[in-house]
Amino acid sequence: MTLKTKYISFVIFLFAISLTANAQQGEVKVTQDSDIVKLLEYKKDIKTSKVFKIQVYQSVDPDKAEREKANFLNSYSEWTAKIVWNTPNYKVWVGNFATRIEADRALVKIKKKYMYANILQPKSDD
Number of independent structural domains in the chain: 1
Record the pTM.
0.60
pLDDT of residue 68: 96
Q: Per residue in 82-92, pLDDT tens?
A: 999 988 999 99
Residue 99 and residue 80: Cα distance in Å, rounded? Answer: 16
For residue 106, count other CB atoms closer than 10 A to its CB: 21
75: containing domain: 52-120
CATH number of the domain residue 83 falls in: 3.30.70.1070
> Pick from 125, 27, 23, 13: which is nearest to 80 by CA?
125
For residue 83, count other CB atoms closer than 10 A to its CB: 16
Structural domain contains residue 115: yes
